[in-house]
Amino acid sequence: MKKRALFWAGLMILMFSVSTLWAKDREYRVGCAFAITGKASWLGEPQRNTVEMLEKEINAAGGINGHRLKLFIEDTQGNNTRAVNAIKKLVKKHRVSVIIGPSRSGTSMAAIPVVTKAKVPMLSCAAAESITQPWEKRRWIFKMGQNDSDAARKICDHMTAHGIREIGILTGTTGFGAAGRTQLKKIAKEYGITIVADETYSPGDTDMTAQLISIRNAGAKAVVNWSIVPAQSIVPQNLRQLKIGIPLYQSSGFANIKYAQAAGVAAEGTIFPAGRIMAVDFIPDTHPQKAILKKYKTGYESVYKDHVSTFGGHAYDALLLVIEAMKKVGDDPAKIRDFLETTEFTGVDGIFRFSEKDHCGLDKTAFEMLTVKDGKFVVYRK
């Protein structure tokens, strides 16, 4: 009898503890849609890892103004149809207040009509400028990845400084690749750079030899490859096999060391624009991003025993922004949207200055030009 009394007393204490742990027991719900599996998993997996790491940190520290942060994470597999279904599930079934992702430009574009109709803010982790423009039609859409147009400008700045005036471009037919091709053709013209060869490839292609031979025969002085799929590792290998000795530029989509590792020695000397998270050790201590870059890199690599990537950084900035918004205005989707639109924030991806007409908030100064040296990413110094 005495044991039974003690049992019930203990149970009552436990129930009381649980009910008072989250004094405001309504959780704050955030949806996430990442390409965790599939050809773009090197984007989505670190994004999933990053938000789960932050969720644990925030809840261990007491949540958001006493509310437990609850993430609902869906795998889009980098597929447009799956992304749309994932977004609908997050909105209708899980009733989230805000969505982080998708990982890719194409899947982000596919999700825009859904979140716009539902009036739920979405913080895309992709890069195509068209995700947030035209601004009049993107009221509920924000973007963490630096603009593809600014990546193209950084590449053109670099080529101009090195006297390169004729180039060949090689782009994937994904949403990211197609948008990058459009930006390259527009911005190269602004810089007076001539595109002498314009080649494309499908996401599943495993050999770009024919396209590279066309670029070589057209007299290109450099080649720009723009994609996020494994082709980023194949193009350097094909160039090396063909003994084509012109500079190789890649897009910001190359900013995961695994792409360089997969290409091996062929990746040495590859030049590309990337966020500063990929070269934290080379950033001066006085730089305003240095503290948050170090915090994210140290935290992620200690938890997951893996290299940090720029793609995980997009998710890190997105969730920190959402947490900041919820601290100030709660979990009302419209209030979160309004808060984000007027926010300035120093993050992993750069110093964001959002406005009504700019839901990216970054410019080309958010990029550094990097290269591959001895199998590592370093700041380009020439």
Rounded to an integer, the average pLDDT of 233-262 is 94
Q: What is the pLDDT of residue 14?
A: 46
pLDDT confidence bin for 353, thresholds 50/70/90 = very high
Query: Does the structure show a pLDDT above 60 at 4?
Result: no
Tell me what percent of the residues of the chain surpass a pLDDT of 70.
93
How many angstroms from the chain centroid is the CA of residue 178? Answer: 17
Omega of the bond prior to 284 within 30 degrees of 0, cis? no
Of 75-79, 169-173, 213-217, 278-282, the poorest mean pLDDT is in 278-282
Of 15-24, 127-136, 186-195, 223-232, the poorest mean pLDDT is in 15-24
Helix (H/G/I), strand (E/B), else coil: 272: strand
Query: Does the structure show a pLDDT above 60 at 108?
Result: yes
Neighbours of 346 (CB within 10 A): 15
Q: Which H or E run includes 124? A: strand 122-124
Rounded to an integer, the average pLDDT of 170-187 is 94
Q: Output the average pLDDT for the chain.
A: 93
Written as one string, the DSSP assignment of 182-239 is HHHHHHHHHTT-EEEEEEEE-TT----HHHHHHHHHTT-S-EEEE-SSTHHHHHHHHH
Do residues 102 and 125 lie in contact, with contact meaning Cβ atoms separated by under 8 Å?
yes
Q: What is the pLDDT of residue 13?
A: 47
Query: Does the structure show a pLDDT above 80 at 17?
Result: no
pLDDT confidence bin for 203, thresholds 50/70/90 = confident
pLDDT confidence bin for 160, thresholds 50/70/90 = very high
State the number of CA atoms in the 13 A half-sphere of 161 facing the CB: 10
Q: What is the pLDDT of residue 39?
A: 85
Tens of pLDDT along 116-126? 999 999 999 99
CA separation, residue 223 to residues 67, 169, 170, 350 (Å): 51, 6, 7, 27
Residues linked to residue 152 through DSSP beta bridges, in sequence order: none
In 3D space, the residue among 114, 54, 55, 51 whose CA is nearest the CA of residue 82 turns out to be: 114
Q: What is the pLDDT of residue 24?
A: 56
Backbone angles phi, psi at 202, to 5 degrees: -85, 155
Q: What is the pLDDT of residue 21?
A: 54
Q: At what angle do helices 175-190 and 148-161 cross, to 10 degrees?
A: 40
State the number of CA atoms in the 13 A half-sphere of 276 facing the CB: 25
Q: What would the two tokens of residue 93 be?
A: 């079934």
Neighbours of 200 (CB within 10 A): 17
Query: Does the structure show a pLDDT above 90 at 20?
Result: no
Do residues 181 and 235 lie in contact, with contact meaning Cβ atoms separated by under 8 Å?
no
Domains of the chain by start residue, with CATH = 28-146+287-362 (3.40.50.2300), 148-281+368-379 (3.40.50.2300)
Q: What is the pLDDT of residue 6?
A: 52
Residue type, 361: G
pLDDT confidence bin for 255, thresholds 50/70/90 = confident
Residue type, 381: R
Cα 129 to Cα 143: distance, rounded to the nearest angstrom = 9
Rounded to an integer, the average pLDDT of 218-237 is 94
Q: What is the pLDDT of residue 381?
A: 80
Tell me what percent of the residues of the chain surpass a pLDDT of 90.
86
Cα 103 to Cα 96: distance, rounded to the nearest angstrom = 18
Tens of pLDDT along 39-68? 889 899 999 999 999 999 999 999 999 999
Cα 131 to Cα 124: distance, rounded to the nearest angstrom = 8
Cα 139 to Cα 334: distance, rounded to the nearest angstrom = 10
Bridging pattern class, strands 166-172 and 223-226: parallel
- Break the chain down into helix, strand, coil percent, rounded to 5: 50, 20, 30
Intra-chain end-to-end CA distance of the chain, in Å: 82
